[in-house]
């Protein structure tokens, strides 16, 4: 047995002929490659016996494992860390922390300059949640006329390439606007396919654009609409089907001005406590970006660690520090690319005149200081 912990292994390999058995649960493959059936199993690749090993090729150039789905693999992705072990003509890969039940993985093998991709997932024996919509954002009951995107969260990975068979925008009359959404060849999923980003066609938002002139805006101020996710959408493993989900909202005025941190109401925290610093916004912001686009730093630029909570309707933000607030000046820092729900950021508007240029603005800041709350 020869251990190869990320060091060099050379092999000239015959074609692997990888293929997933039709209708299987992605755990059985043609001879030459086997994938785990438990958390402790390795990925095994059988090298062709008629070929000898020689220097000049890294083990990861032959065999790699990634988290995520086959559609996302594999350029600009970091492979799972682990060790390679050679047993005769069988190359094994074991991850540093074991394979996780329920996580989607992709095996990547390269032979004779040909890349082969093979997905798998450990089903395990633990009960799993049925497919369901667990969240829809923006979560407010009133959205601006030029709202740009929705995030749909699911309880488990969903089947791709069918999203717009199920997701519809309906007027109060029940009429479906089939041209409301921007439909890409690749749907906008997160890595494990439990969150889908749905964009209103920007051509329906931007004024004086051909699509807007021809069809009008997708949403009109003063009207109500329902975003629905139809019944029957299958989960990625085909074992569960989505029940119907819908959310009705009304439409308010469009957001046509860039956001400004000076319009936020900041509640300073109490000195020596771990009470939350709170920021109330003048508008709704993009929920996903709010999780990482605002931070608190000390006057000398050191990040204050803590936890973030996004408020109802994405109109507020709370930060609770890991340690009590110090008696010193700090800075609330907001990335200038943070967008409101209409796609406007601190530098530029989504819908602007051709002659209007973006503002060359660095991250925007506002000084804060903890206050005495004794008595």
Mean pLDDT in residue range 121-148: 84
What is the three-class DSSP state of 115?
Answer: strand
CATH number for the domain formed by residue range(s) 133-252: 2.60.40.1220
Is this model's pTM higher than 0.75 or not?
no
The two domains 2-121 and 133-252 share their CATH topology (first three levels equal): yes
Q: At the topology level of CATH, where does 2-121 sit?
A: Immunoglobulin-like (2.60.40)
Per-residue confidence band for 25, with pLDDT thresholds at 50, 70 and 90? very low
Peptide bond into 85 cis (omega under 30): no
By the 8 A CB rule, do 204 and 215 touch?
yes
Give the tens place of pLDDT for each residue, 46-85.
Answer: 765 544 444 345 678 788 888 877 766 777 777 888 888 8
Of 28 and 325, the structure prediction assigns the larger pLDDT to 325
Report domain extents, the chain: 2-121, 133-252, 261-369
Spatial contact of 55 and 12, defined as CB atoms under 8 Å apart: no
Query: Where are the strands (E) in 113-244, listed by range?
Result: 114-121, 133-137, 142-144, 149-154, 167-171, 188-189, 195-199, 224-229
DSSP 213: H
Do 284 and 173 contact (CB within 8 A), yes or no?
no
Which pLDDT value is given to residue 3?
Answer: 43
Give the C-alpha separation, 52 to 22, whole Å. 33
Q: What is the mean pLDDT of the chain?
A: 82
- Range from 13-22, 47-56, 217-226, 315-324 carrying the lowest mean pLDDT: 13-22
Is the predicted pLDDT of residue 201 greater than 80, yes or no?
A: yes
CATH T-level assignment (fold) for domain 261-369? Immunoglobulin-like (2.60.40)
Q: Specify the DSSP element, H or E, that contains 2.
A: strand 2-4
Taking only the tens place, the pLDDT of each residue in 235-272 is 988 888 999 999 999 999 999 999 999 999 999 888 88
151 with 195: CB under 8 angstroms? Answer: yes
DSSP code for 314: G
> What pLDDT does residue 113 have?
59
């Amino acid at each position: 047995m020869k251990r190869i912990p990320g060091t060099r292994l050379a092999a000239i390999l015959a074609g692997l002929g990888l293929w997933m058995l039709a209708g299987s649960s992605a755990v059985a493959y043609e001879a030459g490659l086997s994938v785990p059936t438990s958390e402790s199993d390795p990925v095994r690749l059988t090298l062709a016996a008629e070929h000898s090993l020689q220097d000049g090729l890294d083990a990861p150039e032959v065999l790699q494992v990634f988290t995520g789905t086959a559609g996302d693999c594999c350029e600009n992705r970091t492979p799972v860390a682990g060790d390679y072990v050679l047993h005769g003509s069988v190359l094994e890969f074991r991850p540093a922390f074991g394979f996780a039940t329920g996580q989607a993985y992709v095996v990547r093998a390269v032979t004779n300059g040909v890349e082969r991709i093979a997905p798998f997932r450990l089903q395990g024996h633990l009960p799993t949640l049925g497919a369901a919509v667990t969240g829809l954002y923006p979560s407010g009951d009133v959205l601006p006329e030029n709202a740009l995107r929705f995030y749909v969260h699911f309880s488990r990975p969903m089947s791709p390439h069918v999203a717009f068979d199920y997701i519809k925008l309906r007027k109060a009359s029940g009429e479906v606007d089939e041209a409301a959404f921007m439909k890409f060849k690749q749907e906008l999923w997160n890595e494990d396919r439990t969150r889908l980003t749905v964009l209103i066609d920007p051509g329906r938002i931007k004024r004086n654009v051909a699509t807007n002139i021809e069809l009008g805006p997708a949403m009109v101020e003063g009207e109500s609409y329902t975003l629905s996710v139809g019944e029957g959408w299958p989960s990625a493993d085909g074992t569960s089907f989505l029940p119907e989900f819908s959310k009705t909202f009304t439409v308010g005025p469009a957001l046509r001005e860039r956001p400004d941190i000076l319009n936020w109401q900041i509640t300073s925290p109490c000195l020596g406590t771990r009470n939350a610093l709170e920021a109330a916004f003048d508008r709704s912001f993009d929920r996903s970006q709010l999780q990482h686009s605002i931070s608190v730093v000390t006057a000398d630029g050191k990040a204050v660690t803590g936890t973030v909570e996004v408020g109802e309707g994405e109109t507020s933000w709370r930060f609770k520090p890991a340690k009590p607030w110090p008696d010193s000046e700090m800075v609330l820092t907001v990335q200038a690319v943070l967008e409101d729900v209409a796609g406007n950021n601190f530098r530029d508007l989504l819908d602007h005149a051709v002659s209007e240029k973006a503002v060359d603005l660095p991250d925007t800041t506002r000084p804060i200081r903890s206050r005495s709350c004794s008595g």
